[in-house]
């Protein structure tokens, strides 16, 4: 098991590609997405039942080591300043497969 | 104005299903049409409109008259967002003025086909090439919006010091304008309709022709739910914009009608041109604006387009514009 | 009883697809019909039933005969949950008796249309106004359930000391009874059908009429999957309730048939009245009961309705009730 | 970054409106919902493929400061006692946008 | 080879929608058809194919000719995965060779119905019993794959010391072979079609017959999106396998054609046999292989089947195989 | 409130039944599933829009006490070695209903 940060982001679906680009540029090795979710926050109610990506959220999380996280955090902060959304950071343990123990 | 014109429009199942959807929200019934069912309906409608338009074009071919009609369509799609922007600047900042102007400069496909249904109900002819006109009218407003964003809101680019970001945006926004799913699918189906002609249409008609009105009714039920939910947001929008959302379509449609009159379009084609000019986008353009002008408030342009202009156009707008036309044509 | 009557019912694609769905579960095939596809089918069926019923009402108008039929429908919808409650109290606590009684007091739209399909197969006439009867039969059982809950399970209100909560509930439950999606959409489509008459139906028929039986087959495939999955829960339900879930529909249907006989309804209308009386709700009422009587165990009323009564009614119930009718009418 | 509690609740879809009311009465400023999920627990199997909200779960979470959480917890407990469901509480860090730093 | 044969195939709306889907991906349009819409289309197509095949079988009955055709279908379904395995072993390890061989040994229903559409376009007769042939051809390759896995990759079983796991697998894999949703639904619908005959088909035809080509076009639009996305993975696949993915179908189809010729099948039936032999599974078999041979890389067998063989077969393969047939038959 | 481990697993949808079997054999008393989600990792991109369970992930989590977790962990590790996927472990507090306080 490896200690890692779990970075969860909830943003308007329309901005998800831009966030994934940010992840890519930060050398993130993996992520998980749950699309078309709902929510309420400072930008109002997202109901996810519209013919429109502006009214629906996506939920993305990525796991990474503390160092990588420290490098990303400012970029995520300015992303959220510009596009809205929430970012939640928590401490987790990740169970690695044999192969991955080498990768990460 | 003849009340009959309005009733002929409203007493059609599709419009009544739209009202039913709105009532469901007002009465707090828990009726919902969850994703991706609305997506299914809109994919269906785009394909159906495109195929049928292409099929009709494969018969008619292109002539000067059609060329004129398409030219007028593009003309309206360019000038509407321009003059809308300057009207909106009276009360709004640059960002919001751009986003709303682009929204109203583009079109709503469902408004268009509701107009087509109306023409069929009252037995007035129109040309299938107007579908091509509709396709041509989707993108210009997005381009105008982007040019204005570059001209009038440079400051924002400075604040955000990630210059390379700005460059990629242009490519992304170009895609939004000309390759967004609505335009892409509509144009694609149109071309398939043209290429496969009579034989192609014969094989596609049972699904994409015969069922069309039923699917439209189903989709408008959902649009009623969506529009009504947005009505609650209008209180934050302000009177100026609510008036704008009704007056602007009437004005744009009137310009379209005058152009149609002077360039001698048929009554049916003119109604469709007017309706396209008067309608506002609620999918493609809001998406493009959200990406390119994140500073603009979608809480303004979305409810205006969905909860005011769309319901107005499909219920009262269509017969009103047709009434104008009957007066002019005499 | 004639085996032919049963075969005429079972050897129809919709019923066979229901069996196929059940087999898929028993054989552990991984066939699934994920949400929101079942939702699409049920929206479709409700709209189709409503529109067609409305269309037929727009022809027939209202007369004493229709009035009698609708009156009997409401009567059954009120008395069934009342006497069911007292029967159920023999073995069950108040909460569960209320929830099950309400479930059996209301109706299942899919059972109804399977009956309609059966009448069409054997060539027996029935009236479109029975759709209005069905709409009227959905809600009373919910109201009866709520009144009983207020009368017979007051203690629970005391335990939970949040008094304001109790007040809001009533509003919410009223909405569940009269504005739940099924009732709302069915009644809405019925009214649209009445208002738009022949012309409206002509434009909606290709989708909501011609395709109806195919969509029913598709939906029943899903119902087979759903019903079969619940069968595994029946072992926890107990013999008393399983017998109830077959005997009660037969009894209720018989009462319906006798009423139909004495009030001189036609054979077709009587079958539909009997079937509505004998059917049990598995969407609207369970939802309302879950909200208003959370203490009742949905592990009882759902499997009974879905996995026993529904399959019984659409396979054996329909021909059985019709057999009773042929005997009475001679 | 702000230390906050993440309160996750899994309940039958049919009760989600009542939970949102509870949130509202507790002055929750935002929440996120994932609808139509499946699960297994003391109330049996929820398969989420039925024409019926009783057989499907919703997953809701809200982020809030410790004080607000302490005020809510008893209400959530009695909610779960009445309606079933699970409630998971964990410690997280939330990245705030410039604007929000004022709000919360 | 006559270019007309190709154009007759390609200039059909379904194939053009497939191309449109591919273009959407290449142009990076954000057109998507989210789940469960693709699922809806594939359920529809399976039911429609099954019902119609069953309906035709209920007319034709079983005779020696049909028996021969079905026998040849099974024969091809057994020998193709066997010889494919040994060809693939030239370059690949045992696991991947098994998975790919099984994939190519089974069939693709959408390829089959595209072929049926082609025959209708060019006016060539074919037998509805070929649907039964298709159903019979789905499973053998899975069984062959499993036997090979047991024979040629025993070592893996040792590594994983959970013996009981291995036992349950067999049951699970048997289910995958004979009760996977595709086979189950197709065979179920086929039997329903046979049992309900003319009367059943009459009630199902509006949905499952008349709309078929439109639904196929809709589904192929999605398949275009899916296939094109996988094309980007082909660079990791290597030239040997890409050549395999085109040469193998041509070879398998040719074997099918020769068998059809010697056993005196009609031209239409032979084309369908060839197409089934040449097509590769992209749903049922990959799923079964992923479960039973997790060591094989789905990044190989999925893109090959989806992004090479499927597009090749429905665009060029069909007219090519038909061209072979016209040469042989003279 | 009860201290528990939250074990989140992201795997190819096709393997979810096998994971649930593992849970069952480990006497897990409950779990929650979100189906058809997307992700990127060492096994490439899962887009969840295909007619195919191989290209889509499921997200499952289960809550359990530390002892049970310790018994399961090696089985999960070998599961992930064989079938791929990610497993995330974190510490949470679970709010129990009256009834459950007895069960667990
Ligand atoms: N306090 C909160 N707890 C949980 N989710 C939140 C919270 N605030 C915002 N969100 C989620 O983040 C999305 C964007 O937040 P916002 O930009 O504040 O509107 C909302 O639509 C919610 O889904
Ligand atoms: N131990 C657990 N781990 C994860 N989720 C659970 C657990 N127990 C219950 N759940 C979820 O909570 C829902 C309601 O729980 P219950 O009221 O115990 O049936 C279940 O359907 C699951 O989705
Ligand atoms: N670093 C990561 N952060 C979040 N999710 C991940 C990460 N790596 C992998 N995943 C998820 O786990 C799935 C399987 O991982 P893998 O077996 O590495 O392909 C991926 O499709 C992702 O959904
Ligand atoms: Na416009
Ligand atoms: Na009843
Ligand atoms: Na093959």
Kindly write down the DSSP assignment for every residue of B269-328, as one continuous string. Answer: HHHHHHHHHH---SSHHHHHHHHH-TTS-HHHHHHIIIIIIHHHIIIIIHHHHHHHHHHH
For residue B152, name the pLDDT band (cuts at 50, 70, 90).
Answer: confident
Q: Is D36 left (phi over 0), alpha (psi -120 to 50) or beta?
A: left
| Chain B CB within 8 Å of residue C277 CB | no
| Chain B CB within 8 Å of residue A47 CB | yes
Q: What is the pLDDT of residue C2?
A: 77
Bond prior to C311 in cis (omega within 30° of 0): no
Closest ligand to A65 CA? 3
| Paired sense of beta strands A57-64 and D31-41, if any | unpaired
Shortest CA gap D69–chain F (Å): 12
Shortest CA gap B273–chain C (Å): 25
Closest ligand to C109 CA? 5
Atom 2 of ligand 3 has which residue's CA nearest to it?
A30
Shortest CA gap B86–chain C (Å): 43
Q: Is pLDDT of C103 > 70?
A: yes
Q: Is pLDDT of C99 > 60?
A: yes
Q: What is the pTM of this model?
A: 0.94
C-beta neighbour count of E254 within 10 angstroms:
17
Q: What is the DSSP letter of C282?
A: S
Q: What does the alpha-carbon distance between residue F43 and residue F80 come to, in Å, rounded to a whole number?
A: 12
Atom 9 of ligand 2 has which residue's CA nearest to it?
D41
Q: Which residue has the tokens 């085996």?
A: C3
**Greater pLDDT, B158 or D22:** D22
Q: What is the DSSP letter of E86?
A: H
Q: What is the pLDDT of residue E155?
A: 52
| Chain A CB within 8 Å of residue B220 CB | no
Nearest one of B251, C28, E255, B169 to A17, comparing CA atoms: B169
| Chain D CB within 8 Å of residue F6 CB | yes
Q: What is the pLDDT of residue B150?
A: 84
Q: Answer whether F104 contacts ligand 2 (Cβ < 6 A).
A: no
| Chain D CB within 8 Å of residue A86 CB | yes
* CB contact at 8 A, C254 and C80: no
Q: Answer whether F4 contacts ligand 2 (Cβ < 6 A).
A: no
**Greater pLDDT, E154 or B192:** B192
Q: Is pLDDT of B246 > 70?
A: yes
- Ligand 3 centroid – CA F29 distance (Å): 26
Q: Which of F91, F94, F103 sits opposite D42 (nearest CB)?
A: F103
Q: Which two tokens stand for residue B61?
A: 């071919």
Q: Which of E13, E35, E215 sits opposite B196 (nearest CB)?
A: E13
> Considering only alpha carbons, which residue of chain E is nearest residue B41?
E37
- Ligand 2 centroid – CA D79 distance (Å): 15
For chain F, the chains sharing at least 3 beta-carbon pairs closer than 8 angstroms are A, D, E
| Chain B CB within 8 Å of residue A20 CB | no
C184 interaction partners in chain B (CB closer than 8 Å): 24, 27, 29, 31
Q: What is the pLDDT of residue E93?
A: 94
User: What structural domains does chain D harbor?
Assistant: 2-94 (3.30.70.120)
Q: Which of E32, E233, E294 sits opposite F82 (nearest CB)?
A: E294
Q: Answer whether A57 contacts ligand 3 (Cβ < 6 A).
A: no
Q: Is pLDDT of B109 > 90?
A: yes
E222 interaction partners in chain F (CB closer than 8 Å): 51
Which residues is A62 bridged to in the sheet?
A7
Closest ligand to B107 CA? 4
Closest ligand to B273 CA? 4
- Ligand 5 centroid – CA C104 distance (Å): 5
- Residue D20: C-alpha distances to residues A34, C125, D16 (Å): 21, 50, 6
| Paired sense of beta strands D44-46 and A57-64, if any | unpaired
- How much is the average pLDDT of C191-197? 96
Return the SS3 of C1: coil
For residue A96, name the pLDDT band (cuts at 50, 70, 90).
Answer: confident
Q: What is the pLDDT of residue C205?
A: 97
Residue ranges per domain, chain E?
Answer: 3-153+164-329
Percent above pLDDT 70 for chain B: 94
For residue B163, name the pLDDT band (cuts at 50, 70, 90).
Answer: very low
C-beta neighbour count of B167 within 10 angstroms:
9
For residue C169, name the pLDDT band (cuts at 50, 70, 90).
Answer: low
- Ligand 6 centroid – CA E13 distance (Å): 25
Nearest one of B148, B133, B140, B146 to B78, comparing CA atoms: B140
| Paired sense of beta strands D44-46 and F31-41, if any | unpaired
Nearest one of A18, A60, A59, A44 to B291, comparing CA atoms: A18
What mean pLDDT, rounded, does chain B reach?
91
Q: What is the pLDDT of residue B157?
A: 46
Q: What is the pLDDT of residue C158?
A: 46
* Length of chain D measured in residues: 104
Percent above pLDDT 70 for chain A: 91
- CATH number of the domain located at residue range(s) E3-153+164-329 in this protein: 1.20.1530.20
Is the CB of D41 less than 8 angstroms away from the CB of F34? no
C179 interaction partners in chain B (CB closer than 8 Å): 27-30
Q: What does the alpha-carbon distance between residue F55 and residue F46 come to, in Å, rounded to a whole number?
A: 5
| Paired sense of beta strands F2-12 and F86-95, if any | antiparallel
Q: Is pLDDT of C271 > 90?
A: yes
Q: What is the pLDDT of residue E228?
A: 94
Q: What is the pLDDT of residue E157?
A: 46
Q: Which two tokens stand for residue B57?
A: 């074009």
D90 interaction partners in chain A (CB closer than 8 Å): 90
Q: Which residues contact A75 (CB under 8 A, 6 or more apart)?
A: A22, A25, A26
Q: What does the alpha-carbon distance between residue D57 and residue D78 come to, in Å, rounded to a whole number?
A: 19
Q: Is pLDDT of E152 > 90?
A: no
| Chain F CB within 8 Å of residue E290 CB | yes
């Amino acid at each position: 098991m490896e200690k890692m940060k779990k970075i969860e982001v909830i943003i308007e679906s329309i901005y998800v590609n831009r966030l994934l680009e940010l992840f890519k540029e930060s050398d993130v090795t993996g992520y998980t997405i749950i699309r078309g979710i709902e929510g309420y926050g400072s930008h109002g109610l997202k109901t996810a039942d519209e013919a429109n990506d502006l009214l629906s959220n996506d939920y993305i999380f990525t796991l990474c080591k503390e160092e990588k996280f420290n490098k990303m955090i400012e970029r995520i902060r300015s992303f959220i300043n510009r596009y809205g959304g929430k970012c939640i950071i928590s401490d987790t343990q990740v169970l690695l497969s044999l192969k991955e123990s080498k990768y990460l | 104005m003849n009340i009959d014109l309005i009733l002929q429009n409203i007493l059609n199942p599709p419009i009544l299903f739209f009202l039913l959807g709105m009532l469901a929200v007002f009465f707090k019934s828990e009726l919902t049409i969850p994703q991706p069912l609305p997506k299914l309906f809109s994919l269906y409608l785009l394909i159906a409109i495109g195929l049928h338009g292409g099929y009709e074009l494969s018969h008619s071919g292109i002539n000067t008259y059609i060329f004129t009609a398409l030219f007028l369509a593009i003309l309206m799609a360019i000038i509407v967002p321009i003059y809308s922007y300057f009207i909106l600047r009276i009360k709004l900042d640059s960002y919001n003025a751009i986003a709303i102007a682009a929204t109203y400069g583009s079109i709503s496909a469902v408004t268009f086909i509701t107009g087509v249904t109306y023409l069929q109900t009252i037995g007035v002819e129109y040309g299938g090439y107007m579908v091509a006109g509709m396709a041509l009218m989707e993108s210009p407003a997005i381009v105008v919006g982007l040019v204005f964003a570059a001209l009038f809101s440079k400051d924002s680019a400075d604040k955000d010091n990630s210059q390379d970001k700005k460059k990629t945006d242009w490519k992304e926004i170009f895609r939004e304008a000309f390759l967004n799913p609505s335009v892409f699918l509509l144009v694609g189906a149109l071309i398939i309709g043209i290429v496969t002609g009579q034989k192609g249409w014969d094989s596609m008609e049972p699904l994409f022709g015969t069922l069309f009105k039923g699917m439209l009714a189903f989709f408008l039920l959902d649009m009623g739910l969506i529009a009504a939910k947005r009505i609650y947001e209008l209180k934050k929008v302000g009177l100026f914009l609510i008036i704008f959302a009704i007056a602007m379509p009437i004005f744009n449609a009137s310009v379209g009608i005058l152009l149609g009159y002077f360039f001698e379009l048929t009554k049916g084609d003119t109604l469709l041109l007017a309706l396209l000019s008067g309608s506002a986008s609620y999918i493609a353009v809001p998406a493009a604006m959200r990406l390119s002008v994140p500073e603009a408030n979608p809480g303004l342009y979305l409810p205006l387009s969905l909860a005011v202009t769309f319901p107005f156009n499909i219920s009262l707008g269509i017969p009103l514009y047709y009434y104008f036309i009957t007066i002019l044509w005499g």
